[in-house]
Structure formats: C-alpha cells, structure tokens
C-alpha cells in the first residue's frame, strides 16, 4: 500500500533553473517507484514536453501540464480554455495600446524561444506546442499589468507568474488538476493501491506552485535563482520545508530525508 503521492514542478525544482540539469533524479525516481510511490510532474510545460520528460525519467504516473490545464496518462483531459479561443483577444488588447505591453510564445520564432529559454531547438518546438496557455514576457509598466489582469478577468482568464514568464490561461491551477486526480485516483493511477490516509508531498519554487504547495500535506519550497524563497501561508497541520540546496540536489535531499530516512 502506498503512503505518499509526490507532485512536483520541474524548472527550478526538479531540474536546475539555469542548466536544466537532472543529475541523480532518474535514480531516486527509480527508488520511489520501487517503493510504489508515484511522482507526478505538475508543470507549466506543455504536454509534449512532459511526455518527453516522462519517458526520459521512466515514469509510470500521469502528468499535469500547462499549470493544471491538461492532465494525461492513458487518456488526456483538458481542464483549461483552448488557446485558440482566447489568443485573438490578447492580441486585440495589445494592438489598441500606444505603449509596449507583452510579447508571447505565439509571437516568437523557434530561434527566439531558444534564445529566451536556453532550450534546444527540438525542446523549444515542444515548448511552443501550447494547448491552453500563452507564456508571455511582460514589457509594460506595473500599472498596465493591473489593467491587463482586469481585462483578463472579464474574459474568465488569469495571468500567473512562473519561473521565467507570466502565463495567461483559464481559471485553473496545478492544485485544481491535482484535486481532480485525487477525486478519481484509481482511474488516473490504476497501478497503485493507496492507503486511506496517504499524504501528498508537493515540491515547487514559484508563484504558480503556490496553490499546489498549499494543498499538500508536506510542502517543499525550493530556492529561487537569487536565493530567496516563495512565501507560503501555511495551514494547521501542514509541514513546510525550505530546501537549503537548489535543484536537482535539493529535491533529492529533501525527498530522501522525508521518505526514505523517516521510513527507515
């Protein structure tokens, strides 16, 4: 029977923020799966990107893509608003301005995405395969950002800060998708038998991880590139741990201490 379910961000949490290094991660994931503990990638990355990482890490569990907008395992479920439905409205708002506002992935060529992210051309192509969100680089003032957020709210959308970009998307989050998975856990994770009191361990570093971290029994907050940490409003009974090390070493250290050392 499984005691834990792990849900984790990627960039800056599982993977090094600057280099995307994942040294040691495949080995600890193999250990976790040997102990019947699923690891669910829960990221702003696209389904195409997470599918590639799922294969690279030999994961058996589902993935949650585009900040909770897409869930996939043996089948795919979209929880968000289709990008093709709202992207014209974003561009229409931008075009009526007389000052800079934003540039998004849909505006950039493949080479421009490579330059902005440090991804390879093949990886950047996967990153551009968006279904329910548009990453943007904000070029305007704080006051204009408030106006933009007000406009998005009228459309039933939101703008959420990630590690590198803002993400325009529907009213979903990593936590809402996680809740949907938990409500039908036997369908999404048919190979696992969970104890009734199993706990959720969530790991993240950015504002778009906040809801996921707050929903977890144990939250691990990874340091940002500047060494600062996300501030989290905890709830009674929740354990919050601040990793002393950046990814991937910090992820490995915290998971080993929480799951393997305590169990041992």
Sequence ranges of the domains in the chain: 4-79+173-261, 98-170
Three-state secondary structure call for residue 219: strand
CATH node for 98-170: 3.30.980.20
| Closest CA relative to residue 8, chosen from 257, 247, 262, 261 | 247
What span, in angstroms and rounded, lies between the C-alpha atoms of 195 and 126?
A: 36
Q: Are strands 70-72 and 76-78 parallel, antiparallel or unpaired?
A: antiparallel
Cα dihedral across residues 222, 39, 238, 256: positive or negative? negative
Give this prediction's pTM: 0.95
What is the per-residue pLDDT across 77-112, written as a single tens digit (0 to 9) for each?
A: 999 999 999 999 999 999 999 999 999 999 999 999
Q: DSSP state, 209?
A: G
The pLDDT value recorded for residue 2 is 73
Given this model, what pLDDT does residue 14 score?
Answer: 98
Sign of the C-alpha dihedral computed for residues 242, 185, 55 and 162 taken in this order: negative
Pairwise CA distance, residues 195 & 88, whole Å: 46
Q: What secondary structure letter does DSSP report for 11?
A: B
CA distance 137 to 119: 16
Does 3.40.50.300 match the CATH number of domain 4-79+173-261?
no
């Amino acid at each position: 029977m499984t005691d834990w379910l792990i849900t984790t961000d990627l960039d800056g949490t599982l993977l090094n923020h600057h280099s995307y290094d994942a040294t040691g991660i495949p080995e600890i994931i193999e250990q976790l799966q040997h102990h019947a503990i699923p690891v669910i990638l829960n990221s702003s990355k696209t389904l195409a990107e997470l599918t590639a990482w799922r294969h690279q890490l030999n994961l058996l569990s589902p993935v949650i893509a585009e900040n909770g907008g897409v869930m996939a395992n043996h089948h795919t479920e979209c929880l968000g608003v289709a990008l093709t439905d709202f992207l014209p409205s974003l561009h229409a708002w931008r075009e009526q301005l007389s000052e800079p506002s934003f540039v998004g992935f849909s505006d950039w060529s493949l080479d421009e995405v490579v330059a902005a992210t440090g991804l390879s051309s093949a990886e950047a192509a996967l990153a551009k395969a968006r279904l329910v969100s548009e990453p943007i680089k904000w070029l305007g003032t704080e006051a204009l950002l408030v106006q933009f957020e007000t406009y998005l709210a009228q459309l039933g959308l939101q703008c959420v800060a990630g590690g590198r970009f803002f993400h325009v998307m529907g009213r979903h989050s990593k936590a809402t998708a996680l809740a949907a998975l938990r409500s039908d856990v036997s369908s999404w994770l048919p190979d696992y038998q969970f104890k009734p009191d199993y706990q959720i361990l969530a790991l993240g570093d950015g504002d778009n991880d906040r809801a996921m971290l707050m929903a977890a029994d144990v939250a691990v907050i990874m340091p940002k590139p500047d060494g600062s940490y996300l501030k989290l409003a905890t709830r009674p009974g929740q354990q919050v741990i601040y990793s002393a090390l950046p990814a991937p070493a910090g992820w490995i250290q915290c998971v080993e201490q929480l799951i393997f050392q305590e169990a041992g």
